[in-house]
Amino acid sequence: MYVSEGCGAVYVREKGELRRYVSADRNDALQHRLFSRDFSFQLCIDTLPSASHTKRRDHFIFTYNKEGSLRYTVKSLFDISLQFIADHIEHVDSLVGFPEQMADKLFSAAEERHKFTEPHTAPRALHVFCEAYGELVLRSLCLRNRNLLISERLEEIRQFQSLECLDLYGCRLGDNHEVFKYITSEALASLVKLFIGANCLSDAGLQRLTAPVRVMKKGLENLQLLELSENPITEKGLGYLTCFKTLQKLDISGTNVTVNVSLKGFFRKNMRMLLSETPLKEFGHSDCKTDGWAEQVINQWEITASEVPKKDYKPRTNALRFYGREKFVRETLNSCSGTSDTTKKDKIVPIHFYKVDLCGTSSTAEHDTLSSTVAAVQKGKKRRLSTEEDQSSAPLSKRQSLSALSAEDLDLLNSY
């Protein structure tokens, strides 16, 4: 109940309604109304705040207690700040000087938000991390038989600037693929192992691959292991490999090179390398794998690349079934595809070369038979083979001296 002292009226709420009892002096009471005659109200319960104005729930941790009721706790300021930076990692200027422990958590948070898979954020986000932490992000990259992934993610792959091992076996890239400009750039000066077998690489491709090292002394100057198997290269292309002064092991199996006295003499004289009697285990591709913070990122790229819709070959299959030739065609295709790879691998004879030091001992201690060969060469066979080497390796040395700074090399310099 409310009593107005000015007009003497009494207001009483009964059953949810407000009633007014007028005093004896009605004229004075009519002059003081609580609400005007045309007053109305409406309860607005249908208008809720939009989703853009709702409060974020990722700042809270929701858990259940023993009684089964839902409880929440607020995240720490560090976690909230880390999430904010991960959401805008493509706008970060630099992470140089940022602690590695925090950077690892920041990389995982950005990975959960798919910052490394989205095409408009992945290159910049990877560049920020690779610039500051280098080999911690990725030190080894294995892309065997993944030519489609290389073509789709070439811009992202270029951001890895501290790789020590790169495996591109079986990608069939050819001589003029753009990935070779990335391999020969200063970004991969730290590369130690390179596997580029079965890539349709010819002598012209080897010339382009070695041009920065031969002419500008930049690029793959620290390379120690090179795999060139199953490429159509000849003895002429091998002359470009003399620029790799730190090369320790070489694989030229399945190429157009024939092993003879002149080939052995060329490697022994110009590169101090000997032919291995047993296959080297380093070329078995067992140790090469993707290693680093971005390991799961590479796997995610492969998953997204495999999700591309494939062509529907059902009409072709129906046609073969209609004419009764499906069984014949399937058996023919399976026999060609299944036996071609196996027979090709079985016929390939391993041709592995390894480097020896000045004392004549092998760089790989596990090959005792190879060290005995070096000792035999030192004792008496060196003089007998030297005459054959001078006659057989003379054309190779002349080609090398003539191709050191040829017109083709100068044209290649303009492309870099």
Q: What is the mean pLDDT of the chain?
A: 77
Give the confidence band of 251 by pLDDT, cuts at 50, 70, 90.
very high
The pLDDT, as a whole number, for residue 109 is: 95
pLDDT in tens, 257-312: 999 999 999 999 999 999 999 999 999 877 778 999 999 999 999 888 877 555 55
Would you say residue 357 has pLDDT above 60?
Answer: yes
- Which pLDDT score, from 0 to 100, does residue 308 have? 52
Cross-strand pairs, 140 = 165, 291
Regarding pTM above 0.85, the answer is: no
Number of domains in the chain: 1
Distance in angstroms (rounded) separating the CA atoms of residues 198 and 343: 15
Tell me how far apart the alpha carbons of residues 7 and 329 are, in angstroms, rounded to a whole number.
106
What is the chain's alpha carbon radius of gyration, rounded to the nearest angstrom?
A: 37
Q: Is residue 238 part of a domain?
A: yes
Tell me whether residue 311 is in a domain: no
User: Is residue 84 included in any domain, yes or no?
Assistant: no
Q: What is the pLDDT of residue 68?
A: 75
pLDDT at 330: 53
CATH number at residue 181: 3.80.10.10
Sheet hosting strand 17-21, strand order edge to edge: 2-3, 10-14, 17-21
Q: What domain range is 145 assigned to?
A: 135-302
Instruction: Report pLDDT digits (tens) over 12-26.
Output: 777 767 777 665 555
User: Between the ranges 132-141, 282-291, 336-345, where is the mean pLDDT highest?
Assistant: 132-141
Give a yes or no: residue 327 inside a domain.
no
Among the listed residues 159, 164, 157, the one whose alpha carbon sits nearest the alpha carbon of residue 140:
164
- CA 79 to CA 57: how far, in whole Å? 13
Q: Which of 194, 352, 197, 207 is nearest to 273 (CA)?
A: 352
The pLDDT tens digits for 367-384 are 444 444 444 444 444 444
Q: Which residue has the higher pLDDT, 95 or 76?
A: 95
Instruction: Write the pLDDT tens digit of every residue in 192-216.
Output: 999 999 999 999 999 999 999 998 8
Confirm if 196 and 177 have CB atoms less than 8 A apart: no
The strand pairing partners of 356, in sequence order, are 362
Output the pLDDT for position 416.
Answer: 57
The answer to whether position 8 is within a domain reads no
Q: By mean pLDDT, which of 7-11, 114-118, 168-172 is the weakest? A: 7-11
Burial 359-386 (b: 16+ CB within 10 A, else e): eeebbbeebeebbebbeebeeeeeeebe
* Distance in angstroms (rounded) separating the CA atoms of residues 350 and 118: 42
Name the residue type at position 306: S
Distance CA 258, CA 255 (A): 8
Does a structural domain hold residue 139?
A: yes
Q: Which long-range contacts (CB under 8 A, 24 or more apart) does 371-380 make?
A: 373/274, 373/277, 374/274
Say yes or no to pLDDT of 146 above 50: yes
**In this model, does residue 116 exceed pLDDT 80?**
yes
Q: Phi/psi of residue 179, each to 5°?
A: -70, -25
The reply to whether 389 falls in a domain is no
Out of 8-12, 79-83, 94-98, which region has the weakest mean confidence (pLDDT)? 8-12
**How confident is the model at residue 216, as a pLDDT?**
87
Evaluate whether residue 152 is within a structural domain: yes
Residue 116's closest CA among 302, 308, 298, 305?
298
